[in-house]
Structure 1
């Protein structure tokens, strides 16, 4: 469980919770047509592992965009299991279909919202868009990576949070990871939800996030999409981390096993995922 250094940031302790809303026996997530879905075990990336289903065309992401980064994210070999931060294996009770090839760290920090922030921050760091890397703490403090990069560190004194110049400037990746560790400690679903803007389900894009802020709360991110150009039906893949901190995984679709791991935008009522239930109104964008 996350540990905070000051009472004001207590709400950042839990971004996900094992007492999550359970998936119900509901048929509200259905595609409008029978769709042939296949998985390519030899695929090394998300787009290679999960070919677009019959009748659908994969969304062509703009080069160097966040969407392209996610679509082409490397996966661990087919059949890989999810590990917790402590090395233990997460039982796969029809939860995930694949595992992203990115570490989870050695601390119980990179949970659900943290995984979303990790993917976003890693993309921006790779693009050298350092000034765009920033996340808010639960108390509202804006943690700019550009300040961290200049050698400033966060000082917490009671209810006051501020930057203090402490070390020499650095653009090293190890320093960037230390920054993320700080963010994961003090931010969570509640703060991330407030940072993002609401998006209608019909306008869903790769990189969007279904998020419920609070304790408990949860977040999953859209990592790929395909569209039926005749019906405009959209299919999407979801990825998550969870509690305790664990490797990021591609989720199965518990309501439409024949469509899994793809989800369709043609659903009414809640969006059921293996370990959480979301509302359409909880779709957000950076």
Structure 2
């Protein structure tokens, strides 16, 4: 009987039928917030989930802590220790723009403030570190392949992080305005960032949201368990937001891509 109950609980927390973020079961009485076609939020709902809930590191090893996640996003991590927390957020936003051929909008600032844009990268420009400053140099032939895009992101992940990303985002003044694609972020060394993957609302205007993260070392992006609930859905926080591996307090903020 105990084994049967454990299996039922496992199915409730890890629903096998969910193949995308948009198929993740809703809390009772909630509906997904409407998202405009072509928006970042709509794109996030179509992100596929892996059949396994195991998180792997960039080198193929299993992450030591396997208790933080309820699902794993089917998004590449790469073979280098680069795609960590803020990088995962930038990866998802860049993938959305790339999928919609919005190459001109793919730009991220390095920690020193230097903008690294994909449009110039495609034309053969590269960013090289000279002392403490990134220099933009035209050193190679134009490219427009998927490998070209992946190489661009590796450069972004090398020179950007939570500090630069937080400066690039705009604050969400009222947390009740939370939307898919928003980011809870605390800049620092270390800092942390998690992305809002989906938002649901009920007839009373109450909201629930799903969060995803990568972490250190670089690892699969994963949908976070709510440590305060048996569900993956989070309620709007007060002064702090507690996630399995980070608590966002006064140094954290809800922010949004401009």
TM-score, normalised via structure 1 length: 0.82
Number of aligned residue pairs: give it. Answer: 244
Matches within 5 A, 1:104-115: 104-115=77-88
Deviations 1:131-187 (A, max 9, x none): 100001111111111111111111322234221111121111101110100010010
Matched, 1:282 2:245: no
Q: Distance in 2 between matches of 1:81 and 1:198?
A: 33
Match of 1:47 in 2: 22
In 1, Cα distance between equivalents of 2:133 and 2:63: 38
Aligned partners of 2:53, 2:168: CA distance in 1, in Å?
A: 33
Counterpart residue number, 2:70:
97
Q: Which of 128, 142, 148 is the equivalent residue of 1:169? A: 142
Indicate conservation of the 8 Å contact 1:154/1:163, yes or no: yes
CA 1:39–1:89 in structure 2 vs 1: closer, same or farther (change >3 Å)?
Answer: closer
Decide which of 121, 125, 128 is 1:152's aligned counterpart: 125
| C-alpha distance in 1 between matches for 2:165 and 2:86 | 7
- RMSD over equivalenced CA pairs, Å: 1.5
Larger RCO (CA within 8 A; separation ≥ 6): 1
- Which structure 2 residue ranges, 5 or more long, are not aligned? 1-11
* Equivalent-residue separation in structure 2 for 1:58 and 1:38 (angstroms): 19
Between the aligned partners of 2:113 and 2:15, the Cα distance in structure 1 is 44
- C-alpha displacement at 1:98, in angstroms? 0.1
1:269 aligns with 2:232: no
Cα gap change, 1:47/1:160 in structure 2, threshold over 3 Å: closer, same or farther? closer
Could you tell me whether the CA contact under 8 Å between 2:211 and 2:223 is conserved in 1?
A: yes
SS in 1 for 2:155: helix
Secondary structure of 1:164's counterpart equals strand
| TM-score, structure 2 normalization | 0.90
Match of 1:248 in 2: 221
Partner of residue 153, structure 2? 180
Report if aligned partners of 2:55, 2:66 keep a CA contact under 8 Å in 1. no
SS of residue matched to 2:185: strand
SS in structure 1 of the partner of residue 136 of structure 2: strand
1:63 partnered with 2:37: yes
**What is the CA deviation profile of residues 96-122 of structure 1, one whole-angstrom value per residue up to 9, with x for unaligned ones?**
000000111110000000000000001
